[in-house]
Structure 1
Amino acid sequence: MGALTSKKQQVNKVQRCTAVVSAFQSGIKERPGGPKPEEGPEPARASVPEETGQEGQTEGRASAATAVVAAVAAAPSSVNREAWARLRDGKGVEPEELEKRRVLTPPAYVRPKREADDDQPLRVDLDEREQPASDDTCDVCQVWTADDLRPCRICTRVFHDGCLRELGCPDSRASPDVAGWSCYYCDNVNLLLTEEEMYSLTETFKQCKIIPESCLVSDELLQYHHSVSKRRFETDLSDEQEEGVLAQFAALDPQKKGRVEWADFLYFESLAVLKRFRSENSLVRLLSAKERDAARSAFLSADRDRDGRVTPAERRRAQRSWFQRLGKGPTQSCDVSASPVGPLCESGPGQAAQTDQDDGPTSWADFLRDSAIYILAARPNSSATHIRLPL
């Protein structure tokens, strides 16, 4: 009897659930119904089998109602709404898009804007270390769990490994190494570009028929540089410039896969745009407090006589040190100036200024300005080298 009572309670719950989704059954109610059986005396039936038959019918309605309720629960998802809209418009729907309700989405990133004093020198004292403290809570879920948080080596953000997986970060990039790990904000140096700079880069890609999110083989990279050279300088690349492009390809493909990943190609071109449009003072302003502290350590280790100056050779060794910590060998290098969208040619004014600096010792302020582009180029977690390293 107790089991029968629990079944009746289940039936009542199902009936209430069916009432909630009655709006979805309006089409069924509007169908013309068949002839109803004549009412008449029915043979007596046992009470338990009757409940069993009613329970079977009710369970069938329960399964249908449960499916409808599940669809209603999934309806508020924006991903599902877009998928269903495409299905409604005859454009199809990807099955995996209906299973992303538990996948987190990184917040929208607002590109920076140039300030009025962006090109003015920024005073950075050599003897005053900043030592910024990491955040207390995960940047994704805002929850504190003590030692389970992974800090970014560039900024002060911290993350849970589980939150990184929910964001879709690959395990290879989430794994710690000797030099640390860059979060998805700092890893993407393309986010340093302003809207105007990104528009210039995008237009170059469109003119050269570069397909976003696609890998490039060596012939495609050569064709890209030839196309830009013709559009900008109305001339083809020389044999020496082609060799530079192939060296760039080797540096962006350290694992010898025969292709350059889109992210590495984008980072290389983004750094070229930064060096083309930004002054050295502006690049210094892009450095984080942790990066400035790392530059202090590199300068002090190179300044062995503690006179506040380093030789050109010591400066170049310090600039290579950021990449050596990341396992990026100095032989795997490429030149930002080799890019047609880059800032400088071999005889440009910037190169001449750098040659002049090599004649004598370098102060801390000049060291930081000259090293800023290399520090920024060392941000990505990728094993590729996105800039030519000093020889």
Structure 2
Amino acid sequence: MGCGTGLPSDAQVVNDEMCDVCEVWTAESLFPCRVCTRVFHDGCLRRMGYIQGDSAAEVTETAHTETGWSCHYCDNLNLLLTEEEMYSLTETFQQCKVIPDCSLTLEDFLRYRHQTAKRGNSDRALSEEQEEQAARQFAALDPEHRGHVEWPDFLSHESLLLLQQLRPQNSLLRLLTVKERERARATFLARGSGSTISEAECHRAQHSWFCKRPIEAPSCSVSVSHVGPIADSSPASSSSKSQDKAPLPTEPESRFVDWPTFLQESVIYILAARPNSLAIHLKPPG
């Protein structure tokens, strides 16, 4: 699909017929990615090291549900960066003395945010409000309150910030897959009446990309995030409400958003919802 924001009402997404790894068709144990059209055998994923131990059972359980599972291509937001963008990010890590593959505490995260704010202007650092916002983002990256953020989650967050900073809107829209556009369209239609939705509903929809399904088995090592419209009475909805202690503020219905605008304003959050991690890699406003 091109860079336009429209989506035909009869658009159909067909998954690939052959495993992306071995290029062999087998009806059993084919895991479809919820972001792209690739499918995989569980044995191929194990052999390549993309699922380990008992995590195959969790992938099997989630890959065919409404929530779905992201393949190793879509799960890694760092792969969205160009070679030049990756070099820029690596250079920033080196200058700010961030050690790759190591987790970050809140102190580490805030220090890094202060250092990046002062780059190019030694007199400028984070304001108190910006520091509080950074602390909230850290909490979103650490939903299990372990006191640290894993390196892949931090890298995904920084990759998203760089995309926001360097890419024009049309370039970001081109990163969306047909599946993501379909889910976004379904969310838009479910929350509006006619061709527009309110700005408040737009913000609620952006938060809905990150509603987490409850983890039934504590031993599961793979987690998933919901990416689409979700009923207020569903278990996932009640679980997400318990995670976000503060309800979204009531917003004045001052602005209405059409479909192209909704997609443009939501694109970065749709991309941020790709990873299987429970972490919210870019917390929407509100």
What band does the TM-score fall into relative to the shorter chain? Answer: 0.7 to 0.9
- What's 2:273 paired with? 378
- Tell me by how many angstroms 1:126 deviates: 4.0
Report the alpha carbon displacement of residue 164 of structure 1 after superposing the two structures with TM. 1.1
Alignment RMSD, CA only?
2.3
Look up the match of 1:292. Answer: 181
Give the alignment of 1:208-247 within 5 angstroms.
208-234=96-122, 235-247=124-136
Consecutive unaligned residues in structure 1, runs of 5 or more: 1-120, 334-357
The one-letter code sitting in structure 1 at the alignment partner of 2:275 is P
Determine the C-alpha separation between the residues in 2 that align with 1:161 and 1:210: 35
Distance 1:176 1:279 in 2: 37
Could you give the per-residue CA deviations for residues 299-332 of structure 1, whole angstroms, max 9, x where no partner exists? 111122x2x1111112122222221152694766
SS of match in other structure, 1:232: coil
Determine whether 1:179 maps to 2:67: yes
Higher relative contact order (CA 8 A, sep 6+): 2
How many equivalent residue pairs? Answer: 246
**Aligned residue runs from structure 1 range 167-316, under 5 A:** 167-170=48-51, 171=55, 174=59, 176-177=61-62, 178-234=66-122, 235-304=124-193, 306=194, 308-316=195-203
Q: CA deviation digits over 1:170-219, x for unaligned, max 9?
A: 42773543510000000011111111111111110010011111111111
- State the partner residue of 1:387: 282
Question: When the two structures are superposed, what TM-score results if normalisation uses the length of structure 1?
Answer: 0.59
For 1:346, the equivalent position in structure 2 comes to none
Match of 1:290, SS state, is helix
Counterparts of 1:269 and 1:176, CA distance in 2: 30
Tell me how far apart the structure 1 counterparts of residues 244 and 86 of structure 2 sit (CA, whole Å).
27
Q: Is the 8 A contact 1:229 1:237 kept in 2?
A: yes
Note the alpha carbon deviations across 1:228-263, whole angstroms, 9 max, x for none: 222233233333322222222211111121111000
Query: Could you tell me which amino acid in structure 1 is paired with residue 260 of structure 2?
Result: A
Say which SS state the counterpart of residue 148 (structure 2) adopts: coil
Q: Percentage identity across aligned positions? A: 51
Normalised by the length of structure 2, the TM-score is 0.79
Deviations 1:78-131 (A, max 9, x none): xxxxxxxxxxxxxxxxxxxxxxxxxxxxxxxxxxxxxxxxxxx93243443422
Matched, 1:164 2:45: yes
On the 8 A contact 2:70/2:276 being kept in 1, the answer is: yes
2:134 counterpart SS class: helix
User: Which runs of structure 2 are paired with 1:1-391 in the superposition (5 Å)?
Assistant: 122-170=3-51, 171=55, 174=59, 176-177=61-62, 178-234=66-122, 235-304=124-193, 306=194, 308-324=195-211, 326=225, 329=240, 359-391=254-286
**Unpaired stretches in structure 2, ≥5 consecutive residues:** 213-224, 227-238, 246-252
- 1:296 to partner: Cα distance: 1.1
Q: Residue 386 of structure 1 aligns to which amino acid in structure 2?
A: H
Amino acid paired to 1:237? L
Bigger radius of gyration among the two: 1
Q: Distance in 1 between matches of 2:274 and 2:176?
A: 10
CA distance in 2, matches of 1:175, 1:317: 30
- Structure 2 counterpart of 1:166, which letter? R
SS for the counterpart of 1:247 is helix
Distance 1:156 1:193 in 2: 21
Bigger drift between 196-205 and 170-179 goes to 170-179
1:291 and 1:375 in contact (8 A); partners too: yes
CA contact (8 A) 2:31 2:60 kept: no
Code of the residue aligned with 1:217 in structure 2: it is T
How far apart are the structure 1 equivalents of 2:151 and 2:163? 18
Q: Which has the higher helix share?
A: 1
SS of corresponding position for 1:386: coil
Per-residue deviation, 1:275: 0.5
- Name the SS of the counterpart of 2:209 in structure 1: helix
Q: In 1, Cα distance between the equivalents of 2:100 and 2:211?
A: 30
Distance 1:255-1:279 versus aligned 2 partners, 3 A rule = same
